[in-house]
Structure formats: C-alpha cells, structure tokens
Amino acid sequence: MAYISVCKLCNSENVELRDSHIIPEFLFKNVYTSKHKFIPIEVDGIDGKVHQKGFRENLLCQGCETKLSLWERELSLFMHFLSGGKSNVFSLTTVGSNTVVEGINYDLAKKALISILWRMSISTLQFFADYDIGIYEERFRNWLHQDLPFDIQDFPILVSKGYISGIYQTGLLMPITQGSYGKHIKMESVVLDGVIFDFLLTDGNVIPIEVELFSLHPEGRVIIQNKEYSEYGIDLSSFSRRVKDKDVLDFFSKHD
C-alpha cells in the first residue's frame, strides 16, 4: 500500500514515500548494538543477502531517494576499498600507524555521510533513539536538499578503524552518540561496517589544525586512524569474548 505524506528532505506534500534506508544496506553485515547484544539479522537463502528489516522508515520521495543513491554510491566504493577491495581511483599510503586514502570524491562522500547522520537523527526507530542533532537537523536538511557544497570547516568528519584489544573488528554497526572533541566541540559518531565516523558539529568555525589535516578533505583525501573502542568509553570486552566463541565465528564467517 502506498504511503502518502510529506517528504522529509524536499518537504513535498502528498507524495508517495519510499521505505527508505536509515543506513544504506551495503554498510551492515553484522549488527551489534550499544546494549551489547546482537540483533538477529535475516539472511535470504536465495540471494545470500543480509536484510535488516528494522532500519527502514517511510521518509523520502523517489526523487530524493535517487539523489541520495548517487552520494551513497561514492561511499560504497570508498568502503569497499577500505575493506581491501581493488580500485583504479583510490590509492592508499601507510604513514606511521595511519593510512592515507586519496582519490575520494569529497563532495559526494561527505553528503552521503552527513545524510546518514541526518537520517539517524530524524529517525523514530529505537536503534537510533539517542541521535538528536537539534538545530542541525533543519540545517542539514536544507543543505542536502539544495545540494550545497560542504567546506572543510563545515562539520568535519574523522574516519578511524575500530579495534578491540588490538584486533580490527570488521562489520560492526553501532551507534556512539553525544561525545565531544576536546572540551568545546560537540561530536556525534557512528560505526559503519567496522569503520568509526566522527562528525564534529562545527559550523563554519575555525577547526583545530589536526582536524583539518586528518578529516575527509576537499582535496579528496582522508587520514584513517586506528582507534580502540575503549577510547570512546565503551566496554566491548564481552563482545571480544563472544567473537572467540565458535558459534560466533561461524556466524561471522557466514555473513562476511
């Protein structure tokens, strides 16, 4: 049955809303929640794809869905490369303990990521209940709707690989909300497919020099750090034990 209402992005009235993804489907394989438990995910036996029915909501008209899918495509290429995929566009250099990735379409990737933060904030789903970016909801909506470019100063995004006790954990999807960068900058974070994205809610203000250096940059590069989840005050030791269990290893091997 068609769901007719107001599109949350373009504000068009009396339009058919799609069953929109809050998190694009390519970004989750294994779901692990802040409540430290697995959500059952459904595997379609025919195409082998993993479906999580809980991450959809009637949000967007078809026109806005199409617009988002263009941005998300760039993000999916980037994520694929990060997980070891081949690419003719991206390049990777190791500098100390960090990894520099170049060749990213900054405009598209940043809009995809900001749109995910925006969707998590406006979502009424319980999984995203802790996301509330307040006044930025409307600002992001307007920014994305008008397809305006983001400057480096506008909501820098830091990218890290998430580790538990020295081991990189692929495939995790997990909310980490309401942190801060230093004392003054509010930060929202999310783990998508094992990669931690920190969104700094600085709006055109001067940003710390290291943020400008490391964050997703208009020149098409980002410096990826390795971070332990314990840095976020999250105790994942029970999860760490669980991944060593045979049933959990089987679970991961089936879904990778």
Regarding 5 and contact with Zn ion (CB under 5 A), the answer is: no
Q: How far is the CB of 7 from Zn ion (least distance, A)?
A: 3
Q: Which of residues 139-178 bind Zn ion (CB under 5 A)?
A: none
Among 61, 104, 112, 116, binds Zn ion (CB under 5 A): 61
Min CB(12)–Zn ion separation in Å:
5
68 lies in the site for Zn ion, by CB under 5 A: no
Burial class (CB in 10 A: 0-12, 13-18, 19+), 180: exposed
Minimum CB separation of residue 123 from Zn ion in Å reads 16
Other CB atoms within 10 Å distance of the CB of residue 29: 19
Closer residue to Zn ion in complex, CB, 9/120: 9
Check binding of 64 to Zn ion (CB under 5 A): yes
Assess 59 for contact with Zn ion (CB under 5 A).
no
Q: How far is the CB of 250 from Zn ion (least distance, A)?
A: 42
Specify the residue, 23 or 64, whose C-beta has the smaller distance to Zn ion.
64
* Number of amino acids touching Zn ion (CB under 5 A): 5
Nearer to Zn ion, 13 or 47 (CB): 13
Say if residues 157 and 190 touch (Cβ distance below 8 Å): no
**Could you tell me whether strands 167-168 and 157-164 are parallel, antiparallel, or unpaired per DSSP bridges?**
antiparallel
State which residue, 122 or 157, has the beta carbon closest to Zn ion: 122
Q: Which of residues 179-238 bind Zn ion (CB under 5 A)?
A: none
Q: Is the dihedral of CA 79, 84, 89, 91 positive or negative?
A: positive
Is 10 among the residues that bind Zn ion (CB under 5 A)? Answer: yes
Q: Does residue number 100 form part of the binding site for Zn ion (CB under 5 A)?
A: no
Q: Facing residues of 100 across strands?
A: 93, 223
Cβ(31)–Cβ(39) under 8 Å?
yes
Radius of gyration in angstroms for the set of CA atoms belonging to the chain, rounded to a whole number: 18
CA distances from 219 to 104, 110, 144, 152 (A): 8, 12, 20, 10
How far apart are the C-alpha atoms of 148 and 155, rounded to whole Å?
13
Which residues make up the interface to Zn ion (CB under 5 A)? 7, 9-10, 61, 64
